[in-house]
Amino acid sequence: MREIVNQAKRIVVKVGSSTLTYQNAKLNFGRIERLIRQIADLRNQGKEVILVSSGAVAAGQGELDLSQPPNTIPQKQALAAIGQGILMKTYEKIFNEYGQKVAQVLLTQKDLTDRKRYLNSRNTLSQLLDYNVIPIINENDTVAVQEIKFGDNDTLSALVGSLIDADLLIILSDIDGLYTADPRKDKSATLIKQVDSITDKITALAGDAGSKRGTGGMITKIRAAEISTRSGIPLVIANGSFDNILSQISQGKDLGTLFLPQSKLASREKWIAFNLDIEGKIIVDQGAVAALTKDGSSLLPCGIIDIQGDFTAGAVVDIIDQRGNKLARGLVNYSKEEIEVIKGLHTSKIKSKLGYEDYDEVIHRDNLVCL
């Protein structure tokens, strides 16, 4: 832990609604001030910090003195519109007291799925860091229906870390880390200090959703860990209510759960692997499995057995072996209908079957990432 943190220059800190607010959804100013003081201290050590902050909907609920969280999409969006301004005003005021400048950045899923907008978001965040400004990022909940309905800032923080090549991601929540069982239900549950790789067993430990004031739970944090570690970024899950938690982590204290990084993907590989909607599946034979995973080859028609889903050229699909194992993900050069015609054929037969041959490969190696 000490070595990883000491080497980390660019750190993404994600803080959840349950850390920022009380049970009645009112802002916990004392905890927010302590969090900001610790982030300012990291900045004074010469580290770059990006803050991914939830809490807009909860802050809106607290502002209107609503006893229950919102249930409908319009209610959530309205409260997000109210709460986001309150949240940013609070952040700006306290950060200024510690001599730090901040900037609000609201993202939607489209900002990370569209390649041009993805690169623009990356450039903007990089420029803010060059200006010694702390970006404060949240999903644009007021307009992003799908994000507010299905999204979570755990995943967003991992995607942001991947986007800007962070050295460390810290997710602060209302739980100490990943346990062997749900500690709220099983008193014998013990904290897992380190996860070397995310297996099915680790994923099964995630359990259900978290608190009423948050949109995620441990399962979203495991998903974030998958993205982060595959991007070569270590991740720490820790309890945001602990005093000086960031300072203690930065000093190498053995707190929370540390997920160790795996092999690092290139920028375009990360974009394909984590940011795009999957529109179908291509099932391949053992020859294609070896060509993709061992030889680093493109996917050719001859290795394709079957196709699932309905997609057009340019869509992202998963490549699956005959046992159902997910091997890779990539951008297809042909539609589902076209692949149905040419599957199992040698490349030289494409033109005679389709009447044209735009590409030799169904998925070119440059547009493919092994999982």
Annotated binding residue 88: no
Residue 220 assigned ligand-binding role: yes
| DSSP designation for 183 | T
Q: Is 114 annotated as a binding residue?
A: no
> Is 165 part of any known ligand binding site?
no
Q: What is the pLDDT of residues 80-135, one digit of tens each?
A: 999 999 999 999 999 999 999 999 999 988 888 888 899 999 999 999 999 999 99
342 is known to lie in a ligand binding site: no
Whether 215 has a binding-site annotation, put simply, is yes
What share of the chain has pLDDT > 90, as a percent? Answer: 67
Angle at 29 between CA 25 and CA 32, to 5 degrees: 100
State the pLDDT at residue 243: 86
| pLDDT at residue 92, as a whole number | 97
**19 annotated ligand-binding residue:** no
**174 labelled binding-site residue:** yes
* Residue 280 labeled ligand binder: no
Using 50, 70 and 90 to split pLDDT, how confident is the model at 272?
Answer: confident
Q: Is 221 annotated as a binding residue?
A: yes
Is 141 known to sit in a ligand binding site?
yes
Report the 10 Å Cβ neighbour count for 88: 19
Tens of pLDDT, residue by residue over 339-350, are 999 999 999 999
Domains in the chain: ranges and CATH:
2-269 (3.40.1160.10), 277-370 (2.30.130.10)
298 marked as binding residue: no
| Helix, strand, coil percentages in the chain from 3-state DSSP, rounded to 5 | 45, 20, 35
CB atoms near residue 129 (< 10 Å):
16
Q: Is 82 annotated as a binding residue?
A: no
